Amino acid sequence: MTSTLLYVTPHRVRGAGLPNRPAALLEGLVRSRAFDRVVVVNRLRADRLVRSGAGGRLRRRGPWWWIERDLEGLTLVEHLWPFGQAESGALPAIARAMIAGGSGRDGDLVIWVADPKSAIVFETMESWAAGVPVIRVFDAYDAWDLSPLVRGNRRRDAVRRGYAVAARCADVVFANSPFMADRMRHGGANIVHLVTNGAPGVSESTELAGSLPHRLGFAYVGRVHERVAVPLLEALADEARPEPLRIIGPIEREPDGWRRLIARDNVVLEGSRPQVAAHRILAETRALIVPHVVDDYTRSQDAMKVWDALSIGTPVIATSIPPAASLPDYAVLLADNPDAVRAAAQRIIRGELAPFAAQRRALAAENSWDRRIEAIRREIDGLRESRKATG
């Protein structure tokens, strides 16, 4: 029996910067060879589709069209249909084409949705997937409707409706944080598994960490918007002076006090960096800081950058958000106010956490993406077996 994974995600699956959760999970699923065929569906704006190049195959089913490209280990489908009624028609057309060209009627289809706005496809599956065993998976990561980056009532309403559809229709929900797991259970989801973010495997940048004789300064890695508590970064920059505070990532919206922060002579804006370069920066600095405001939105998240730093042996200063709040203090120093940040910075500068680099790397290894993928595979295989048993 063959199996096709149809993976619907709003994010680029391969590209610059530290990976997002859907990309990291996808890479693990491809690496595990859990499926005979992997098809990734991206919804893109027209300008991004043009910039991605004109290669690929134009496919069409009824009024719906898309472009397919063969990448290493997967097929990438890119379409322009906006969320809502248009996408709810396009996704079934794409899925039917993948069934016909892939697993066929002798296989099964696992449809994995990582965008709540796309979960509407779960409602219509009985009408277009008849005769093919389908497992519906929803990845509930971050509370999109609480994000300052999701603007406009129409989008927020679409996100909330998507969560409701996923809770009602998905066969299994994987949640990145206890907040999201509780939210989906309260919404009526029957099977919810907590699958937090994981640590990357050994890489050249990880091996590099052991060979660097000195570390200097501190780093923030990630998108900058309202979730960043600028007073915490100010406290760190002042305590670290003259050592640099390096800020790596796009500035999407300037939080309060941002201009005051970046006026300091030891605050360095470095923009977005490829993943390997970002890992090298983590290996070069004394510690990573994750200065997120603590609220329902950041409690719904699970900061991947924490695991990236620990995998290299770099300690972390963070507010009380997942996963930092549950990790030992040889890995993460919790600091929810400027005084606590200053005290944590001094501990780092004095070298108090330096002897525990090996323990940090071991902790990351115990929480690798490969371990997360093993848990996901067990759950999906269990669903297959239970369906066989019930006929």
For residue 240, give the nearest of 260, 277, 265 by alpha carbon. Answer: 265
Tell me the per-residue pLDDT of 224-253, one tens digit each, with 9 for 90 and over. 999 999 999 999 999 999 999 999 999 999
What pLDDT does 206 receive?
52
Looking at residues 281-292, what average pLDDT do you find? Answer: 95
Collapse the DSSP code of 60 into the 3-class scheme (helix H, G, I; strand E, B; otherwise coil) and give the result: strand
With contact defined as beta carbons under 8 Å apart, do 218 and 246 qualify? yes
Q: Which amino acid is at 127?
A: S
How far apart, in whole angstroms, are the C-alpha atoms of residue 236 and residue 218? 8
With contact defined as beta carbons under 8 Å apart, do 94 and 2 qualify? no
Token pair listed for 249: 């990532």
> What per-residue string of b and e applies to 200-232 under the rule 16 or more CB within 10 Å gives b?
beeeebbeebeeeeebebbbbbbebbbbbbbbb
CATH 3.40.50.2000 matches 204-366: yes
The percentage of the chain sitting over the pLDDT mark of 90, rounded to a whole number, equals 64
Q: How far is CA 258 from the centre of its chain?
A: 25
Does 208 score more than 70 pLDDT? no
Collapse the DSSP code of 293 into the 3-class scheme (helix H, G, I; strand E, B; otherwise coil) and give the result: coil
Q: How far is CA 233 from the centre of its chain?
A: 24
With contact defined as beta carbons under 8 Å apart, do 114 and 9 qualify? yes
Rg (CA), the chain: 22
Does 365 score more than 60 pLDDT? yes
Looking at residues 75-79, what average pLDDT do you find? Answer: 90
Homologous superfamily, domain 3-198+368-389: Glycogen Phosphorylase B; (3.40.50.2000)
Phi, psi angle pair for 107, to nearest 5°: -130, -165
What pLDDT does 104 receive?
44
Q: Is 300 exposed, middle or buried (0-12, 13-18, 19+ CB in 10 A)?
A: buried
Phi, psi angle pair for 99, to nearest 5°: -65, -45
How far apart, in whole angstroms, are the C-alpha atoms of residue 252 and residue 227? 11
Distances (CA, A) of 185 to 116, 129, 147, 165, 175: 15, 26, 20, 13, 10
Q: Please report which confidence band the pLDDT of residue 50 belongs to, taking 50, 70 and 90 as the band edges.
A: low
Tell me the per-residue pLDDT of 338-355, one tens digit each, with 9 for 90 and over. 999 999 999 999 999 999
Could you tell me the sign of the dihedral formed by the alpha carbons of 90, 92, 94, 96, in that order?
Answer: negative
Indicate where the chain has its CATH 3.40.50.2000 domain(s): 3-198+368-389, 204-366
Q: Which ranges of the chain does DSSP label H, i.e. alpha helix?
A: 21-32, 46-51, 85-101, 125-128, 153-169, 178-186, 204-209, 230-240, 258-262, 275-284, 296-300, 304-311, 338-349, 357-366, 369-389
How far apart, in whole angstroms, are the C-alpha atoms of residue 106 and residue 382? 19
